[in-house]
Amino acid sequence: MMNRVFAVAGGTFRESVRDRLFYLVGFFGIILVGATMVLSPLTVGAQAKIVADVGLAAMALLGLLVVLLVGANMVRKEMERRTITTILTKPVGRGEYLLGKYLGLTVTLVCMLALMGVLYVVAVLLTPATLAWSHLGAIYLILLELLVLTAAAVLFSTLAGPALAAVLSLSLFVIGHLLDSLRDFGALAGGVRKAVAEVVFRLLPNLEVFNIRAEVVHGDPVSAGHLGMATVYGVAWVIVFLLLARAVFARKEL
Amino acid sequence: MNVGSLARVVVVVGLLAVLPLVASSVRSDEADSSRDERLYYPSGDFLRQATLGFHAPAADYVWLQATQYYGGYHRGEHDLRYFDHLVDAVATLDPGFVEAYHFASLVHCIDHGDFDRALNVLQRGILANPSNWRLHFDMGFVNYVFKRDFAVASQWFATAAEMDGSTDFCRRFAAFASRRAGDLEGSLLLWDNLYQTTDSADMRALAEKMIERCQETLSGAPQDGLIGPPAPSNKTTKLKESS
């Protein structure tokens, strides 16, 4: 089974290379150089912080861009091209196909973040900041957040066209970062609104769990416990989204 | 190249030449209103929600605007009316942004002459960053240099000196402030602490000199001012004698 999954994943990864997704790494480098050389004279003592902030934020945003442009389009594109029928007529199950597509994009994201991470480390070392292991923890959690969003994008991709799937994925990203505020708002409002807020809070992934960027930049320690719990939380949401995607895709007329 | 292609090139080049002029014209029309554009600047609380987990880079962006705004004040463009609002947005977006508290406190002291507001900004910074020695040092600095409250300054410097990451500089200031406040025994202890813990030979020499002066004052020896010439004697012996 895993051979078939890896074959689909390999194809997805090669496709992302052909689509020149890795040019985004070059764009990331330009952003870092800009932050280091152009903004630094204006930062009044905050150069190290700003370079680190911009670097981590750019990684998260460019990764999100890949998820929205590629992940949300992944299944639908092959359905429209009819290439999916070619794949599924071979002994590849629909669940294996989805898992392969997901793993292929995961490998792409891992490679992209690894390359960006190297550039980031170089950029931070050029500033007066001290580079701690917690910076790698922050990059790891960015990856984890992107993997949750990718799984959601795969689900949306089986449900709707590329544009709507991208909008739904982006909406999940927005709501996922506002869940704490939504819950606070519900608690203040009381009544039905409180109940609704509580339901939404429990039904959607809280993406702030993966956001330790500000703490890391300020040199605050990040516990292994936090990384471990965030990993469990992220992997659980990935499983939920992929199982839902499999259930939807299994009933899909191709 | 045929006539059609040439015409298209001319149109593109012409538009590229004209569009910057149009943009400049629009900007100059807005120049009168730009004076008050910070009036409509969103609050830090709103920005924190709106930036979706990217509040630290958003704080950096507002910080760059705040420093540009301060530059505008020095060019005579405005009276720094909205500086507090920008600093508040920065501190709300990223409470760990120590440079913002530091810079804002100096602006309040130097440009507004409002030392209490400077201390309030620093207090806010300390509440958000209780283990940051630099903000404690800044509290001492404002009290020492601007408010001339040497006793309070000495306490803040001493607190900063005890914190992780602080430098000899803090202990040196604590001892100076303590001496200026008339607390010679406290000053002596602080200088002695600096002498014992510093890695710098220069700092150790300075500490030794100041210990001798404090001891001379305590023993009633004639002084020729606050900072007189040190007497050439053994520091450790003098410390034992004084205790």
Contact A69, A166 (CB under 8 A): yes
pLDDT value at B84 more than 80:
yes
Residue A27 is encoded by which pair of tokens? 């764009």
DSSP assignments along A38-57, one per residue: IIGGGSTT-HHHHHHHHHHH
Is residue B36 in a domain? no
pLDDT value at B227 more than 50:
no
- What is the signed CA dihedral for B146, B150, B152, B156, rounded to 10 degrees? 80
Q: How far apart are the first and last CA of chain B?
A: 98
Query: What are the helix (H) ranges across chain A?
Result: 2-18, 23-33, 47-69, 74-81, 83-89, 94-125, 133-159, 162-189, 191-203, 213-217, 224-250
Which of B46, B49, B54 to substitute to test the interface with A, most A CBs within 10 Å?
B54
pLDDT at B110: 84
DSSP-derived letter for residue B38 is G
pLDDT at B32: 55
pLDDT value at B233 more than 60:
no
Query: Rounded CA gap, B187 and A178, in Å?
Result: 52
Q: How many domains does chain B have?
A: 2
Is residue B99 in a domain? yes
Is residue B1 in a domain? no
Contact A157, A72 (CB under 8 A): yes
pLDDT at A139: 95
Check if B94 contacts A (Cβ < 8 Å).
Answer: yes
- What's the rounded mean pLDDT across residues B137-151? 86
Task: Return mean pLDDT, chain A.
Answer: 88
What pLDDT, in 10s, does the model give residues A175-212?
999 999 899 988 888 888 999 999 999 999 999 999 99
- How many residues appear in chain B? 243
pLDDT at B236: 39
Domain ranges for chain A, please list them.
2-250
Contact state of B60 with A214 under an 8 Å Cβ cutoff = no
pLDDT band (50, 70, 90) for residue B224: very low
Contact state of A45 with B102 under an 8 Å Cβ cutoff = yes
- Compute the C-alpha angle B141/B72/B136, nearest 5°: 15
Amino acid sitting at position B134: R
pLDDT at B191: 73
- What's the rounded mean pLDDT across residues B110-131? 93
Query: Rounded CA gap, B109 and B123, in Å?
Result: 15
Query: In which domain, by residue range, is B225 found?
Result: 150-243
Is residue B218 in a domain? yes
What pLDDT, in 10s, does the model give residues B6-30?
888 899 999 888 888 888 777 666 5
What pLDDT, in 10s, does the model give residues A76-103?
778 777 777 777 777 778 888 899 999 9
pLDDT at B231: 36
pLDDT value at B154 more than 70:
yes
Non-local CB neighbours of B176 within 8 Å, separated by 6+ positions: B187, B210
- What's the rounded mean pLDDT across residues B190-197? 75
Contact state of A46 with B55 under an 8 Å Cβ cutoff = no
Burial code (b: 16+ CB inside 10 Å, e: under 16) for A56-78 equals: bbbbbebbbebbbbbbbbbbbeb
Residue A151 is encoded by which pair of tokens? 């799984």
Q: 3-class SS at A91?
A: coil
B55 CB neighbours in chain A (<8 A) are: 214
Residue B238 is encoded by which pair of tokens? 């003098």
pLDDT value at B229 more than 70:
no
pLDDT band (50, 70, 90) for residue B232: very low
* CATH code of the domain containing B98: 1.25.40
Check if B222 contacts A (Cβ < 8 Å).
Answer: no
Looking at the fold, whether B167 and B235 belong to one and the same domain comes out as yes
Residue that terminates a domain, selected from B130, B162, B185? B130
Q: Please report where in the chains the tokens 């406290």 appear, as a residue.
A: B186
Is residue B188 in a domain? yes
pLDDT at A49: 87
pLDDT band (50, 70, 90) for residue A47: confident
Output A38-44 pairs: Cβ under 8 A, ≥24 positions apart. A39/B64, A40/A127, A42/B64, A42/B67, A42/B68, A43/B60, A43/B63, A43/B64, A43/B67, A44/B63, A44/B67, A44/B99, A44/B103
pLDDT at B30: 59
pLDDT value at A29 more than 80:
yes
pLDDT value at B204 more than 80:
no
pLDDT at B151: 87
pLDDT at B242: 41
Looking at the fold, whether B47 and B125 belong to one and the same domain comes out as yes
- How many residues appear in chain A? 254
pLDDT value at B234 more than 50:
no
What pLDDT, in 10s, does the model give residues B41-63?
888 888 988 898 899 999 999 99
As to burial, measured by CB atoms within 10 angstroms (0-12 exposed, 13-18 middle, 19+ buried), residue B179 is: buried
The backbone torsions φ and ψ at residue A204, rounded to the nearest 5 degrees and listed phi first, read -120, 150
Contact state of A57 with B102 under an 8 Å Cβ cutoff = no
Q: Which of A114, A127, A103 is nearest to A9 (CA)?
A: A103
More confident residue, A93 or B237: A93
How far are the Cα atoms of A104, B4, B20, B23, B194 from residue B9, in angstroms, in the given order? 44, 9, 18, 22, 74
Residues from A in contact with B at Cβ < 8 Å: 39, 42-46, 49-50, 53-54, 57, 60-61, 173-174, 177-178, 181, 207-208, 211, 213-215, 217-218, 220
Looking at the fold, whether B107 and B182 belong to one and the same domain comes out as no
pLDDT band (50, 70, 90) for residue B35: low
Check if B172 contacts A (Cβ < 8 Å).
Answer: no
Looking at the fold, whether B119 and B181 belong to one and the same domain comes out as no
Query: Rounded CA gap, B91 and B163, in Å?
Result: 22
pLDDT at B226: 38
- Which of B22-26, B131-135, B190-194 has the highest mean predicted lDDT (pLDDT)? B131-135
A60 CB neighbours in chain B (<8 A) are: 53-54
Residue that terminates a domain, selected from B100, B130, B160? B130
Is residue B122 in a domain? yes
Summarize chain B as % helix, strand, coil (round to 5). 75, 0, 25
Contact state of B53 with A181 under an 8 Å Cβ cutoff = no
Residue that terminates a domain, selected from B74, B100, B130? B130
Is residue B33 in a domain? no
Is residue B93 in a domain? yes
For residue B159, the surrounding DSSP H or E stretch is helix B150-161
pTM over 0.90: no
pLDDT at B237: 39
Mean pLDDT is lowest, of A45-49, B13-17, B177-181, B226-230, for: B226-230
Contact A129, A46 (CB under 8 A): no
Residue A213 is encoded by which pair of tokens? 């960027």
Contact state of A50 with B60 under an 8 Å Cβ cutoff = yes
